[in-house]
Amino acid sequence: MVIQPEWSSSCGLFYGDNLLIMQELKKQGYEGQFSMIYFDGPFNSGWVFSSYSEELKEEIVDPWNEWKTIRNFFNPGDYRNDYRKRIEVAKHLLADEGILVFHTSQKEGHYLKVILDEVFGERQFLGEVVWKFANGPVYQKAQFGLNHETLFFYAKSEAFTKKAEKCYSSVWDDIGTYDDMQAENTYYATQKPEKLIERILDMTTEAGALVGDFYCGSGTLPLVAQKMNRRWIASDNSRIAIQTAVKRLSTLGIEASVHQIIEDFNLEYLQEKEYTKRSEIPFSLYELKGLKRELGDVPIKINAFDYTDDIDLIGDHSVVYQFIMPGRSCKSSRVPRPVPAGDGLRVSAPFEWIYFHLKHGKIEEYNYHVDQGEMEDRVKRSLLRLNGNWIKEKKRYDHYERWIDIFGHSYVVRKERKEGENWARQLLLLEG
C-alpha cells in the first residue's frame, strides 16, 4: 500500500476509509504520536444524509454510505464491530499521555461505552460530557425532544494530565447546534460547532500537539486545530466532506492536498498472465500502470476485485427501511441501493464503481484487454461529467423529483427540508 500523493508532513487530509488510513499511519511511524483523537462518526440513527453541492446546485447522496447506513441500522452488531476495529487502532496511534474523545448519541452510546471500556480499560474512562444543545430540542414533535449528544473521554494511560486551567463541568449547555452556526455553517449535514471543538482541544492538548479526526466531515476540527496552532491529520470517506473541508481550510490560506491510500502494484498477484487479488482496496490505476510496466501491451486477465467487507451486496435490490426515531411516525419505505452487474463484485466508493464499469463494460466475461490510455481518458471524462455525483438525470415535478442514477435506478425524492432548518435531509423512495 502507498499513500498518494506522496506524504511527508504531519498535517494532512485523507480521503478513504479511516480503518485503512489509521492502519497505514501506524505502519508509517505514527504509532504513539497523537495527543488527542476525536471520533465523531455515524450515530446509527437511521437517517440517510445528503449534502448540497455548490457546483451542481443540488443535493447529492453517496450511494455506498447510504447503503452502509441502512445495513448498520438493521445490524447494529456490524456497526459496533466497525467501531471496535477503529477504536483499537486509534488507541495504538495515541501517545501514552494521549486521549480519545468519542462523540456519540443516546441510541448507540451505551453499547459503544462498553466497547471503549473493553479496549481502553474501565479505569481509563475520564468522564462523560453531555452537550445539551443551547438552542433547544431538535425534534419538536417527539415524546422526548432530542436535546443532547454525548462525549466520552478516555485516557490512553495514567500518564494523561489535565491541560486546561479551567475545570469544565460535565454538562455543556452554552453551545448551540446546527441552527445556531450562522456564518460558520457549511451546510454539511452533521457539522459540529467550532466552539465545541475549541473546548475539546483546549481541554485535551497544548499548542504544537498532533491531533487526529478520522471522521472529519466538513473539517471543523482541522480548521479549529489550525487556528489553535495544533498539528492535525484528518480523514473522511465522503467526497463531499473532503471538498467541504478543503474549501474551509482555504479560508485560512491553507491549500490542503488530499491523500489516499491505494494498493501498490503487487507482483505476487501476477501468475502467468493473470492478475488475481483479494484486498480491501479497489484495483487502481496505479496497479494497472504496474501491470503495464511489467507486461507491456500483452493482454492479461484480471480477476476478482472482491475487496471490501464493508459492503455486503445481497441479492435483493432494495430493503425495507423504517424510521423509528423520535418525532417520526413509524414509516416503511423501500430504499434502493446500487447492485452489481455481475457476481462477486464489492465496491466501496462510487468512483470505483464507475471506474469498474468503464474499464470492463461486460463484467461477466472476466477477460479484458486493457487499454490504459483510453481508460484513463474515459475515467477523466466521466468524472468531469458526473462531478462526483451518482445521479445522472433529474426531472422536476411539482411536489417531487425523479432521479435516475448512474446504474439506471429510478427514485422519487421528496424534500424533507423544513422552514428554519438549515440542514439537508432526504428520504429516497424506490419507484417501480
Judged by the rule CB under 6 A, the positions of this chain that interact with ligand SAM are: 17-18, 40-42, 65, 188, 190-192, 215-218, 220, 235-238, 241
Least spacing, CB of residue 69 vs ligand SAM, in Å: 9
Least spacing, CB of residue 215 vs ligand SAM, in Å: 3
- CB 168, CB 199: distance < 8 Å: yes
* Cα–Cα distance measured from residue 424 to residue 432, given in angstroms and rounded to the nearest whole number: 25
Residue with Cβ nearer ligand SAM (241 or 302): 241
Residue with Cβ nearer ligand SAM (22 or 270): 22
Q: Which of 68, 152, 160 is nearest to 110 (CA)?
A: 152
3-state secondary structure 153-220: EEECCCCCCCCCCCCCCCEECCCCCHHHCHHHCCCCCCCCCHHHHHHHHHHHCCCCCEEEECCCCCCH
- The position carrying cell 453531555 is 130
Residue with Cβ nearer ligand SAM (46 or 121): 46
Residue with Cβ nearer ligand SAM (113 or 357): 113
* Cα–Cα distance measured from residue 19 to residue 24, given in angstroms and rounded to the nearest whole number: 9
Residue with Cβ nearer ligand SAM (75 or 271): 75
Least spacing, CB of residue 392 vs ligand SAM, in Å: 22
**Cell triple for residue 270?**
501476477
**Cell triple for residue 349?**
466508493
Nearest residue to ligand SAM on Cβ basis: 217
Least spacing, CB of residue 303 vs ligand SAM, in Å: 26
Residue with Cβ nearer ligand SAM (150 or 220): 220
- CB 64, CB 72: distance < 8 Å: no
Q: Which amino acid is at 35?
A: S
Least spacing, CB of residue 177 vs ligand SAM, in Å: 11
Task: Tell how far CA 36 is from the center of its chain.
Answer: 19
